Amino acid sequence: MDELSNIRGSCLRAHCNVGKKTVNGRWMRLRRRTALGGSGPGRRYATQQINQAYTVLLMSQFQRYCRELHTEAIRFLTSAPPKDPRSTLLRVRLTEGRKLDAGNANPSNLGSDFARFGMNFWDVVKAHQRGNRARQEKLSVLNQWRNAIAHQNFDSPILSGRSSIRLAEIRAWRAVCKSLAESFDAVVRAHLMGIIGKAPW
Amino acid sequence: MPRGATTRSNGRQLRVGQRVIYRVGKNRFRAVIVEDRGNIGIDGERIFLLRALEDGPAAAGETFELAAEELKPIR
């Protein structure tokens, strides 16, 4: 058992030595990015890491909200004859390959998934509140940041060469998500009312 | 789910990774549970994300959602 551990250990060390320069370089870069402390002015904790985590968390919660709104709308649309095979068929077809199940809640995926209910989603959302056109663009930028953070690749031209993010920006995005969520709820509710003749929620 | 609330058929027996069948009319189709979405349906229905194992209402390999009461575990 000890021999096996030694072999494994020596293999690992050999592997590290082969790419030592690369590994060291990467490690130093990572340390510089995540370094805590220092004697200069400013905060002594990992603000950037917290901001990045906050951005990804915000986006994931917004995605979950949108997906659950979509699910709830389907359940309501197909609830009338519960044992009717047509209801099951419709439920399967309306959720099959849904983009919100695999991709981000970006404007394109949202438009595509909610179009399954027969609505021009973003046209209706933009008409619902004056600021929603700008919010759609901000959601797109938020998605770019989310992807840049999740993949640690900040090359997108939309980020204008930046790799750090400020708390004020995230708070603004949170307000955007909140307003969009309220609009989504209202327009989907109105659309379902138009189809089935009563308020779904 | 609180005690005494609506008991949805086999929701408690189902879990991620389990193979299930769902019916459309007289036909049965196989799928596997990939995610438990929780009680997010109407009146607290438990919803599962599934992946179709064969062509049917959903193409094989595609994901879709159904409620627990529409699913039967494959023993």
- Tens of pLDDT, residues B26-53: 999 999 999 999 999 888 889 999 999 9
CB of A75 within 8 Å of any CB in chain B? yes
- Tens of pLDDT, residues A122-162: 999 999 999 999 999 999 999 999 999 999 999 888 888 89
Instruction: Indicate whether this complex's ipTM tops 0.85.
Output: no
Closest-CA residue in chain B for A87? B24
Residue B62 and residue B68: Cα distance in Å, rounded? 18
With an 8 Å Cβ cutoff, are B64 and A95 in contact?
yes
* B63/chain A closest Cα distance in angstroms: 5
pLDDT for residue A40 is more than 90: no
Residue type, A53: A
Instruction: Give the pLDDT band (50/70/90) at residue A44.
Output: low
With an 8 Å Cβ cutoff, are B64 and A92 in contact?
yes
Percent over 70 (pLDDT), chain B: 84
Mutation for B interface: A94, A95, A198, most B CBs within 10 A? A95
**Backbone φ, ψ for residue A160 (5° rounding):** 50, 45
Strand, helix or coil for residue A11 = helix
pLDDT at A83: 75
Closest-CA residue in chain A for B25? A85
**Number of CB atoms found within 10 A of residue B58's CB:** 24
Which chain B residues touch A71 with a CB distance below 8 Å? Answer: 37, 40-41, 47, 65
Residue A29 and residue B70: Cα distance in Å, rounded? 52
pLDDT at B73: 95
pLDDT for residue A96 is more than 90: yes
With an 8 Å Cβ cutoff, are B22 and A96 in contact?
no
pLDDT for residue A20 is more than 70: no
With an 8 Å Cβ cutoff, are A96 and B58 in contact?
yes
What average pLDDT is seen over chain B?
A: 86
**Segment A63-73 mean pLDDT:** 96
Query: What ranges in chain A are assigned the alpha helix state H?
Result: 2-18, 20-34, 47-77, 85-95, 99-102, 107-114, 121-128, 132-151, 167-196
Whole-prediction pTM value?
0.80
pLDDT at A8: 44
Position with higher pLDDT, A125 vs A17: A125
CB of A81 within 8 Å of any CB in chain B? no
- Tens of pLDDT, residues B58-70: 999 999 999 999 9
With an 8 Å Cβ cutoff, are B62 and A97 in contact?
yes
Residue A147 and residue A56: Cα distance in Å, rounded? 8
| Angle (nearest 5°) at CA B52 between B47 and B58 | 90
pLDDT at A30: 59
pLDDT at A84: 85
pLDDT for residue A79 is more than 90: no
* A185/chain B closest Cα distance in angstroms: 15
Residue A184 and residue B26: Cα distance in Å, rounded? 37
pLDDT at A38: 61
Residue A72 and residue B38: Cα distance in Å, rounded? 12
Instruction: Give the pLDDT band (50/70/90) at residue A12.
Output: very low
**Segment A160-186 mean pLDDT:** 95
